Structure formats: C-alpha cells, structure tokens
C-alpha cells in the first residue's frame, strides 16, 4: 500500500490536476471566498474621517495596532466593516477550549463526537458575538476620542448613534468572516480561518516591499541592511520549513497471529510525532489575546481622560518592549502545551494500539506506553515551543529597532509558510484520492469485462 501511494504521488502532474474536477471546484470556491473577504476590507465604516484616521495610524504603525492591522489584512487601518477580522472568533475558541479542560459539562460534550462538536461550535459563535460587541464598543468609544495633528476628530458625528451603528456593523462583519472561513473549510480546500489570515498578510506584502524600498531610497535603511534582511528572511523560511516537517517516528510492532493454516501480522509501522505538534496556532492565539486589551488601550491613548498608568502600559505593549515580549513568549509556550494536549492524547493512543495488538518495542502496552508517549511528546513540545518563541520574538526585536514592516516578522512568515505547506498538502491529498478513485473505477470495469 505504501509503495502504491508513493507511485501515485510521483505520477501526480498537471494532467492529473486537470482531470480532478472536484478539486478545481474547491479551489475556485476558495479563491472566490477570499476575493469577497478582500473586497470587504475596503468597505469603510460610516461616519469616519479617512484622512484623520490615516494620520493617527501613521503615528501608531510601529505599535500593537500595526500588528493587529497586519493580521486584519489592512482592514483596521482603513477602519472597514471587517476591522475586527476573525480575532474575536479565535479568542472565543481559546476560551471554550480552556473551559472544556476545567468544565465537566463541556468535556462531556467533546466526547460525544459530532453532536457535541456542533454544540461547542454554537457556544463559540455566541461567545464570538459577545466578544466582538465588547471590542466594537470599545473601538467606537476610542475612535470618538481620537484626533489628528490638525485637531480634527476621527469621527464626524460622535454620539450613541455612531456607537450603535459601529457595534452592529463590526459584529456583523466578524460573523460574516467567521461564516466565510467555515465555508472555505467545508466546501473549499480546508483551513478556512488560517487562509483568511494568510490572504490578508500576502495581500499587503507588495505595499510592505514598496515601503521598505522607499526607506532605502530616502537613506533611512542602507542597501547592506536590506541584503541582510533578505538573507534573514530566507534563513527564517528555511528554518520554519525544516521544523514544520521534522518528525519523531516511534516504531510500532504488530505480533504475528495464526488463523487456520495462515499466519497474519508481524508487520511494523511508525507513529509520527511532529516536532511542532501545535503548528501555527500558539502565535495566533497569543497575538489575539494580547490584542484585545492592547487595542482598547491603544485607541484611547490620545484621550485626555486616559490615566497615565494606562499610557505607560500602552507604551510597554509596543513591539520589542520587554513587557510585550514577556507576555508573548509566555502565551506561546502555554498554548504550545495546551493545544498539543488537545490534539494528541497519549492514553487514548496507547489504548488504540493495545486494542489492535500493537506495541512499542521494549515498552509494556497500556499505561507504560501512555507514559512513554507522554514523555516523548513533552520533550518535543519543549523544542516546539522554543522554536516558535525564537521565530516570533527575534524578528519582532528587529522590527522595533529598525522599523522594518511587520510583514517581515517571524509571526507573519510563520503563518505564510505554514499555511502554504498545509494548503499544498491538502491539494496533494485530493489529487491522490482522485487518482485512487480512477484506479478503482478501472479495476471494476476490467472485472466486469472478465465476468
């Protein structure tokens, strides 16, 4: 079976892609959904002075709001209907997953299979509405207090009507983006939420390149620094690809068994454990949690009513600052372990191996196998958390020191490279499945002809 799969993978070409009608439909649907999302990032909120807002964001582009704007695909800077993007949904997912680890009711729902998953998804949607409404209201109040260098307010007509329309519009935009991501996952090529964030980052890459070249032209950045930056980006991309593909393969042995005169089993296989089991989730989760309070604080920085200690916190949460980096690393490490514990259960895996007669060489089946897998997984997660922290934090320091655009940071590169690899793997699996279906149909036709 393995050799057949390898042969199929080797034979996949553009001809096979042209014949995969279902895959082409999924790709076209995904592209259409992403185009709709990108169009929404250019529809402005009513009652906003775009010129004043551009001046304000020019002052805050190196801070936490710049990071949020990168993840939102530029929608925050333009203050569009998708300004909150998918972040409230991600935050709601984090909270529901954390609650399911401590609540027996939610834990029981997780074990109910598809029915329980639907209930948890409904809870997540409801919590998304609540979080989005709170963030939208805080954003509307912050916008009313913001003024440009000329003294003009960012909001043309402040008041409760503006706040109400802003909350309704932003919550509706967030729910639409969430629905769009679910549709891409179900009817497209998968990874809908990740692809939405990916498309926002990639769409703004040309603007970031132009801005970097403009800094070189004006002399703010030297040509040598740009060369070093290119080498650094290529090195980070190579490092990400290496770690994302790295695996620890645990040898699984299946004993021989005799049925009548025939002997079955005696085969061996591998249990692959990724070095970074949690993938790109920890940096996204960490960023989204940091952005909730930081966005509210950042929007209210220009308000005369803001206390001085909140201004100090806002400055400390800027990129490259010790407080921001400390919280960022802590959250990345925490979510690396937390998400790994969710996606891989050593006890459940050990039980499945025991039921099918498999065992790890030198390890007794059952609890000993579960402890061994947990020990291996813990060591791998330590390496994975360290790798994610290194990739995400070191470029952020360079961004803060040299004003390089966020799109060249570790978080953005990690998302782009990881989502690209996952998407290619999804397309590859669809092609293999299509070729298998073709082989099965041919074998059935040959069998029918012989009969």
pLDDT averaged per 10 residues, the chain (length 451): 43 60 86 92 85 73 62 77 87 83 80 82 92 88 76 81 92 93 88 86 78 74 77 84 87 71 66 85 80 60 59 66 83 89 84 81 84 91 90 73 59 83 82 67 56 43
Strands (E), 107-207: none
**Contact of 353 with 250, CB cutoff 8 Å:** no
What angle, rounded to 10 degrees, do the helices at 346-355 and 367-402 form? 140
pTM for the model stands at 0.76
Structure tokens of 398?
A: 């360079």
**Contact of 357 with 350, CB cutoff 8 Å:** no
What pLDDT does 301 receive?
53
Measured CA to CA, the distance from residue 331 to residue 326 in angstroms comes to: 9
Other CB atoms within 10 A of residue 224 CB: 8
Which residues, 6 or more positions from 396, have their beta carbon under 8 angstroms from its beta carbon? 319, 320, 325, 328, 409, 410, 411
CA angle 147/148/153 to nearest 5° reads 40
CATH of 2-450, one of 1.10.3370.10, 3.10.20.30, 2.40.160.40, 3.40.50.300: 1.10.3370.10
Which residues, 6 or more positions from 21, have their beta carbon under 8 angstroms from its beta carbon? none
**Contact of 16 with 434, CB cutoff 8 Å:** yes
What are the angstrom distances between the C-alpha of 84 and each of 36, 46, 203, 219, 251? 16, 15, 17, 35, 46
Residue found by looking up tokens 């190196």 in the block? 62
What pLDDT does 133 receive?
92
Burial (CB count <10 Å: 0-12, 13-18, 19+), residue 414: buried
Structure tokens of 401?
A: 């020191």
What pLDDT does 444 receive?
61
Measured CA to CA, the distance from residue 389 to residue 382 in angstroms comes to: 11
Residue 155 bridge partners (DSSP): 48
What pLDDT does 6 receive?
44
**Contact of 59 with 260, CB cutoff 8 Å:** no
Which residues, 6 or more positions from 228, have their beta carbon under 8 angstroms from its beta carbon? none
């Amino acid at each position: 079976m393995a050799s057949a799969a390898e042969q199929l993978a080797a034979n996949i070409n553009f001809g096979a892609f042209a014949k995969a009608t279902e895959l082409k439909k999924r790709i076209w649907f995904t592209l259409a959904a992403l185009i709709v999302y990108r169009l929404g990032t250019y529809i402005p909120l009513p009652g906003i002075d775009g010129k004043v807002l551009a001046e304000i964001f020019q002052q805050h582009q190196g801070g936490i709001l710049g990071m949020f704007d990168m993840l939102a695909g530029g929608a925050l800077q333009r203050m569009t209907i998708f300004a909150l993007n998918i972040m409230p949904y991600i935050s709601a997912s984090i909270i529901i997953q954390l609650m399911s680890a401590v609540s027996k009711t939610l834990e029981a729902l997780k074990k109910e299979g598809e029915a329980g998953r639907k209930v948890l998804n409904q809870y997540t949607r409801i919590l998304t509405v609540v979080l989005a409404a709170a963030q939208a209201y805080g954003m509307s109040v912050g916008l009313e207090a913001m003024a440009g260098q000329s003294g003009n307010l960012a909001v043309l007509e402040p008041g409760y009507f503006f706040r109400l329309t802003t909350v309704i519009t932003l919550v509706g935009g967030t729910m639409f983006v969430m629905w769009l991501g679910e549709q891409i996952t179900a009817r497209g090529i998968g990874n809908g939420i990740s692809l939405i964030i990916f498309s926002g980052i990639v769409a703004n890459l040309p603007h970031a390149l132009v801005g970097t070249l403009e800094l070189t032209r004006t002399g703010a950045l030297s040509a040598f620094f740009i060369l070093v930056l290119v080498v650094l980006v290529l090195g980070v991309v190579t490092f990400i690809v290496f770690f994302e593909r790295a695996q620890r393969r645990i040898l699984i042995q299946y004993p021989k068994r005799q049925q009548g005169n025939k002997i079955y089993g005696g085969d061996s296989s591998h249990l692959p454990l990724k070095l970074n089991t949690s993938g790109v989730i920890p940096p996204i989760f960490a960023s989204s949690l940091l952005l909730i309070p930081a966005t509210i604080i950042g929007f209210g920085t220009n308000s005369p009513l803001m206390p001085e200690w909140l201004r100090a916190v806002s400055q400390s949460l800027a990129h490259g600052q010790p407080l921001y980096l400390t919280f960022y690393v802590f959250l990345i490490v925490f979510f690396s372990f937390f998400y790994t514990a969710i996606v891989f259960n050593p006890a459940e895996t050990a039980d499945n191996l025991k039921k099918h007669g498999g065992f790890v060489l030198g390890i007794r089946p059952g609890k000993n196998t579960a402890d061994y897998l947990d020990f291996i997984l813990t060591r791998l997660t330590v390496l994975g958390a360290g790798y994610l922290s290194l990739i995400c934090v070191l470029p952020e320091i360079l961004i803060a020191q040299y004003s390089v655009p966020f799109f060249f940071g570790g978080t953005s590169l990690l998302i782009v490279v990881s989502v690209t690899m996952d998407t290619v793997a999804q397309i590859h699996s669809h092609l293999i499945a299509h070729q298998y279906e073709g082989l099965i149909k041919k074998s059935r036709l040959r069998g029918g002809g012989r009969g």
